[in-house]
Amino acid sequence: MKDLQLGESGTICCLQDPEMALKLLEMGCIPGTQVRLNSRAPLGCPITLVVGDMADYTLSLRVSEAATILLK
């Protein structure tokens, strides 16, 4: 996730932090889902991700939280 450039997409492989994973899963970040790094806040954190490849929606989260998402 950390290596994603602005506008680039990836597919979620797994979630590292078990507790954070519960929250991310509920928000729809299921392994196999496509995510795209949509924007960064002016100071670099938080960021927004567009989740899903069908009916998309945008999540905003801190970089530290996004770092627990591993991409394929």
5 binds other proteins per the rule CB under 8 A: no
| Chain center to CA of 48 | 8
Residue 58 lies near other proteins (rule: CB under 8 A): yes
For residue 25, the SS3 value is helix
Residue 46 contacts other proteins per CB under 8 A: yes
* Amino acid code (one letter) for 66: A
| Identity at 32, one-letter amino acid code | G
Q: How many chain residues interact with other proteins (CB under 8 A)?
A: 33
Nearer to other proteins, 23 or 71 (CB): 23
CA 59 to chain centre: 8
Exactly one of 12, 20, 35, 37 binds other proteins (CB under 8 A); that residue is 20
